[in-house]
Amino acid sequence: MVSWSERYPKGHSLWFGAFLGFLNIYHPDYAKAVYSRGDPKALDFYNFFLPWIGKGLLVLDGPKWFQHRRLLTPAFHSDILKSYVVLMVDSTQVMLDKWERLISEDKSLDIFQHVGSMTLDSMLKCIFSYQSNCQLDSKNTYVQAISDLSCLMQERIQTFLYHNDLIYRICPHGYRFFKACRIAHRHTEKVIRERKALLKDERELEKIQKKRYLDFLDILLCARDVNGEGLSDEDIRSEVDTFLFEGHDTTTSGISWTLYAMAQNPAHQQKCREEIKEILGERETLCWDDLSKMTYTTMCIKESLRVYPPVPQVYRELNKPVTFPDGKTLPAGALISLNIYALHKNPDVWEDPQVFDPLRFSSDNSSQRHPYAFLPFAAGPRNCIGQQFAMMELKLVVALTLLRFQVAPDPANPPLEKPQLIMRSWNGIHLYLKKLA
């Protein structure tokens, strides 16, 4: 993809077989032309996710998508997010305590699965206050179902035969998928029923908030549009499962690759550590107000998201024609692939794109850059609604890790990039961890 972007600076056609063709784009001007207007539809293959996540924001379009987007937006307000800091810190400390027991001087540690368990732990606490203990207890059937579903959906997309619903339902792979869906749905539906009963006499969020922090489910249950209509139980389950699906793997990828980037760049790592220590002072842990002070750490995180975007590619179907700045046009119904990975490494956009340089994201440099050059959370009306949640977790986990450990790469086992739905590694992400005094 990177070599093609050097040959074709704005985009090129991309075919899967003889019948499914996309315009693959990776230039800011082309991205702006598509994503700054209207409501491009989610692509049909996202329907593979329907048995698990239902019709949530990922797959909805039209008026219902707008209604859900408006109702969900308050769930990501800073007043809500700040109460999640203590939950994320707690989950991160459990992971770091586990790493202390596992590390050795002569053996690196594959961090990806550990980070995945930690982000799932945090997500379950923030979504519906569920204390899963999944970092220490891998036998929890619900947690296992969630882990299985993420892997099984990726495998279905990659296996052409599995695209046929009938074949998929009768094969062992499909049987495992639908069984995991039933387990996940039963748990979510049970939690929704119990919470609705609990909130029956306390429908106002302010009253609930005086007793405890608000989680994602509280806000969905109490959300009302201008006509006083809320979400159905099925809609709520779909949005809970969508948030879990979209938020769990993406933050796992972002955190893991950022720690690898820190390991690859010890000078930047040390500068982040010094900044975090100065912010913390005599205190033992981080709080919400600290996040806005992590200037250099945030620049390093953003540069990592540029080099290793958690979602390397997104797909859309045009709901109306588009004309690009160079005069080329596409009709309604055309399929678009925004290749974020290639966009972030496009030499027409970024100077020395293979070099890790956090100063690209200084306030001066950022103000001069095309607004569609850096899109780790996509762009336009369908951008990631949870991006502030994700950045908050990234900052907290990276900061707490660097306070406790010095991280270094394993030269014998470098990660091999695996850009699927989520940026993964074929062989894990192996780091040497050294406990700091």
Place of tokens 């972002």: 254
Place of tokens 């979510």: 188
- Sheet (strand 109-110) strand order: 109-110, 430-435, 405-409
Please give the Cα distance from 308 to 376 (Å, whole number): 9
DSSP 378-432: --GGGS-TTHHHHHHHHHHHHHHHHHHEEEEE-TTS---EEESSSEEETT--EEE
384 annotated ligand-binding residue: yes
Q: 272-287 as b/e, with b when 16 or more CB fall inside 10 Å? A: bbebbeebbeeeebbe
Please give the Cα distance from 90 to 292 (Å, whole number): 20
Please give the Cα distance from 316 to 318 (Å, whole number): 6
Can you read off the two tokens belonging to residue 395?
Answer: 């900052």
Can you read off the two tokens belonging to residue 301?
Answer: 């995180």
3-class secondary structure per residue, 199-226: CCCCCCHHHHHHHCCCCHHHHHHHCCCC
Nearest-Å Rg of the Cα atoms of the chain is 22
Can you read off the two tokens belonging to residue 144?
Answer: 């296992």
Please give the Cα distance from 436 to 252 (Å, whole number): 24
Can you read off the two tokens belonging to residue 338?
Answer: 């925004």
Please give the Cα distance from 408 to 402 (Å, whole number): 11
Place of tokens 């502030």: 388
Alpha carbon distance, N-terminus to C-terminus of the chain: 44
Please give the Cα distance from 234 to 212 (Å, whole number): 25
What is the Cα 234 distance to its own chain's centre? 23
Residue 214 near residue 205 (C-beta atoms within 8 A): yes
Nearest to 248 by CA among 97, 126, 101, 369: 126
Residue 423 near residue 311 (C-beta atoms within 8 A): yes
Can you read off the two tokens belonging to residue 222?
Answer: 């109490």
Place of tokens 């948030």: 243
Sign of CA dihedral 249, 254, 257, 263: negative
Binding-site members for heme are: 384
Binding-site members are: 384
